[in-house]
Structure 1
Amino acid sequence: MKNNKKISIKEIAKLSGVSVATVSRVINNNGRFSEETRQKVLDIIKKYDYTTNMAAKSLRVSKSKTIGVIVPDINNLFFAELVLEIENFFFEYGYSVFICNTAQNEVKEKEYFRSLDSKLVDGIICISSNLINPANFIKRNIPIVYLNNTDMKDYYCVESNHYEGGFLATEELIKNGCKRIVLLTNNKNASSVNNKIQGFKDALKKYNIPCYNDLILRLDLKEGVFEDSLDAINYLIDKNINFDGVFATNDLRAHSALVALQQHDIPVPNNVKIIGYDGTSISQYANPPISTIYQDKKTLATETSTLLLKLINEESKNLNKHLVIPIKLIKRKTT
């Protein structure tokens, strides 16, 4: 049973027969001390259930062992899986993670930057595609790494190869006979979106397929990703606008396109073929399973987290400021 008596670091030193400085080195796991000394100190710490005052410690050493993650939509499986991987990574290094869901609201994102700064986080991973400069809202000089956003040129970034993803998705539809392809995406002017669109257009050009303006659907977020995409495909069907393929820039949009077509008794893939993006379980377990472009979430999260940790530890020498992770085409029954 643990002793309820409060104990100070000075008392730990006295009971262990070592100096306060040695106790501090053992607690922080740095400096020189013997294994015997370490065990003596840890036994006293365990006996009296000693915990460090992290708030006071962070003020002394300018490190809080916390990071912030700004995410645009935690309901999106792709983002949720990324955040889980990031949280697991930092837990192994003794860090706590503040998860800030902006719901793609720029005002919330700005406030979260201010809030994370006030909480003395050691660094931030930003998954948002908003063009908001953190330096305008953060007073301290802390490292920030962007994930899937190369628009913030002053910051480190890890991203998937979205140009190749857009190209391969479109090529998959073309190779399966599609000639009137819908591009179903959002209306954000962001690098991840723009690179997919450029890949889409270049694939059409390579195979001499026209790019129809009325089939490029760049949607504002109104009711939600699924609902907005459903409405967009329903509009095309109701207006008798002909199309035989859909490239949706995430799996949720692809699933909404599939549902819209099924509701109108339009066979997939016989009449219309669909490919999504991200490689989440939505695409895998839809009926029929949806072809998709797989983003390697584990690698994205690990590389981003490793980069941020090195920057926190001031190990910035020879670090690549822009790292691109390969994507993979997964062929399923919708193509």
Structure 2
Amino acid sequence: MEKAKSIKEIARLAGVSTATVSRVINQNGRFSKETEERVLRVIRQNDYTPNMSAKGLRTSRTRVIGVVVPDITNPHFANVVLHLEMEFTRRGYSCLICNTNESSSLEKKHIRSLTAQNVSGIVLISSTRNYTELDSLPVVYVDRPSRSEKERGEGVMIESDNTQGGYLATRELLGAGCRHILILKCLGNDSNQLARYRGFQRAIGEAGVEEEEALRINLDAVSIDGARKAVADLLDGGVAFDGIMSTTDTMAAGAVIALREHGLSVPRDVLVTGFDDCQLAEACGPGLTSVHQDVAEMSRLATELLFQMMRGERPERSHYRLPVTLTVRKSTRR
């Protein structure tokens, strides 16, 4: 069966005008959700690709969305990027992924490069918002709220309820009888990590459990090896604990390895929780109890808000905080 080769043919197959197809493709103008889905479905079925170069010459914008991510090897960020790319592709846009490796200087270079390439919009996973280059671009900030009170009111921000997540994970450990809980976090000035730590403090405070300074670890980076070494050093030094609340699944996996190497078993000797509920949580040890972030909804909402801004519309809100849940597995079951 011959595929449609023009916008006119797409319009005929979708039962709409060519102007409506153009509005859907360019995300510019009014159309119903049902119409958008019908047009996009016909475009997908026919593998139709609009003439990007011609459109770029007319509008000075490419049909490309930039995504700036701090660490593409982190399973959580990789999952976010995967869902974003799927959402953009569904709408006929390409995705240009820029990994900063947690480097502020590299992040600045990527921002300048994306703006120079006339991308249509940017999804930025960063706590930095003072980029004047982005003043004229639709930008949605995802996952990491700004550390600056002044900057928090600027732009559109989508994050998970990290404080509640830290609280739920710690309460799970407390409910299972843990009283000497190791808090394993990283990137001391990262707003998400601090929020999860506040949730930990709230939970132990409600339980009347004292926070122990010796049981507070703050790593420079999210890594299995870093967490493994830090926990191993504590065990080698004779520091005792019966639970570990880790602010990422990656670090929780490193902790589980260190425990195993020291002849300790999860959950027989030490209970462990993670954060993100990525695939690593299912595969780690006996199965890792972890805070679940709704990455699919975060990505869908980011896409919807970004395209609203690309159409010149103003989102109803500037800040969205998505609820989290706790996925309980064997790592917290005695």
* TM-score, normalization by structure 2: 0.82
CA distance in 1, matches of 2:202, 2:21: 57
Mark the runs of 5 or more structure 1 residues left unpaired by the alignment: 3-8, 14-22, 32-45
Aligned AA (2:317): N
Preserved CA contact (<8 Å) 1:117 1:140: no
Any runs of at least 4 consecutive aligned residues in structure 1 with deviations exceeding 6 A, and if so which? none
CA distance in 2, matches of 1:179, 1:255: 21
> 2:215 matched to which residue of 1?
215
> 1:114 matched to which residue of 2?
112
Matched, 1:28 2:25: no
> 1:166 matched to which residue of 2?
166
Matched, 1:233 2:231: yes
Aligned 1:47-196 pairs, distance under 5 A: 52=51, 54-55=52-53, 57-129=55-127, 131=128, 133-135=130-132, 138=133, 141-151=136-146, 152-153=151-152, 154-196=154-196
> 2:204 matched to which residue of 1?
204
Number of residue pairs matched? 294
CA distance in 1, matches of 2:331, 2:86: 34
* Cα distance change, pair 132–29 in 1 and its aligned pair in 2 (3 A): closer
Instruction: Compute the displacement of 1:28 (Å).
Output: 3.4
Aligned AA (2:122): I
- Which of 262, 267, 273 is matched with 1:264 structurally? 262
Residues 153-186 of structure 1 deviation map (CA, whole Å, 9 limit, x = unaligned): 1121111110100000100001111111111111
SS at structure 2 position matched to 1:185: strand
Instruction: Compute the displacement of 1:287 (Å).
Output: 2.3
Mark the runs of 5 or more structure 2 residues left unpaired by the alignment: 9-16, 30-45
When Rg is computed on C-alpha atoms for both structures, the one with the higher figure is: 1
Instruction: Compute the displacement of 1:191 (Å).
Output: 2.0
Matched, 1:330 2:327: yes
> Structure 1 vs Structure 2: percent identity of aligned residues?
32
Residues 181-233 of structure 1 deviation map (CA, whole Å, 9 limit, x = unaligned): 11111124122111111111010100000111121111113xx6111111110
Aligned AA (1:142): L
Preserved CA contact (<8 Å) 1:89 1:302: yes
CA distance in 2, matches of 1:96, 1:241: 51
Matched, 1:300 2:295: no
CA distance in 2, matches of 1:140, 1:294: 33
CA distance in 2, matches of 1:216, 1:291: 20
